[in-house]
A and B are shown apart, each in its own frame.
Chain A
């Protein structure tokens, strides 16, 4: 059974994720590029991270 705190946390996270889903596609692509940078940074720092053997790179795309 969810406590009051858990319920509030669930609801606020749910509102946040729904608002992120409503962003424009263009904004989402920029977010994905930031996530790519983070993912590759973490991959480079952690030799045990899954997917390290895959050749991945941050998209080189024009902004705007």
Chain B
């Protein structure tokens, strides 16, 4: 994990990506009890708009230079499958802008705040997201005011009320 994060940070230093944050299961498990996952999801923003048809091509070129193989949608970086995602909607983009710096395995890295992860889970609404959101509400330390303001900003308040009514 340490080597993987160092490799990802080197992409920041080289300007291949301008920003990144850990998202998905690994970000969730930063805040709640872990369960099984097999990959590391990263939301990134890219510096160059040179290839708008294949925005992640610079990342794949970088991986090829370092002999990191690709498998499906993942790059295997230092033994861990990593999936790079562009911020695919305003909420995710907002979450990336508000990502917090943390130190894990003695490496500085960036991770989505709990409140943004909760809003994204609510918005996505798959059964696994609903199950994890319930766990966040009972296990994670989060700021209710901050969550409410994110939900209001992204028009998710009604969905949240419905979720609480049906699920809790």
A17 x B71 contact (CB < 8 A): no
Q: Nearest A residue to B80 by beta-carbon distance?
A: A59
Cβ-defined contact, B104 with A25, below 8 A: yes
- The majority secondary structure among interface residues of chain A is helix
A18 close to B139 (CB less than 8 A): yes
Cβ of B161 within 8 Å of any chain A Cβ, yes or no, is no
Restricting to A9-64, which residues have a CB under 8 Å from any CB of B? 14, 17-18, 20-21, 23, 25-26, 28-29, 31-32, 35-36, 38-39, 54-57, 59-62
**What are 28 A-B pairs with beta-carbon distances under 8 A?**
A14-B138, A17-B33, A17-B139, A18-B139, A20-B33, A20-B139, A21-B33, A21-B139, A25-B104, A26-B105, A28-B33, A29-B1, A32-B29, A32-B35, A32-B36, A32-B37, A35-B36, A36-B36, A36-B38, A39-B36, A55-B72, A57-B81, A61-B1, A61-B2, A61-B4, A61-B80, A62-B1, A62-B3
Q: What residues of chain A lie closer than 8 Å to B78, measured between beta carbons?
A: 61
Chain B residues contacting A59 (CB-CB under 8 Å) are 1, 38, 79-80
B160 touches A (CB below 8 Å): no
Across-interface contacts of B139 in A (CB, < 8 A):
17-18, 20-21
**Interface bracket on B:** 20 to 34
Chain B proximity of A42: nearest CB distance (Å): 10
Contacts of B2 on A, CB cut-off 8 Å?
Answer: 61-62
List chain A positions with a Cβ less than 8 A from chain B.
Answer: 14, 17-18, 20-21, 23, 25-26, 28-29, 31-32, 35-36, 38-39, 54-57, 59-62
> Which of B3, B72, B135 interacts with A17 by CB under 8 Å?
B135
Residues of A contacting B3 in the complex (Cβ-Cβ under 8 angstroms): 61-62
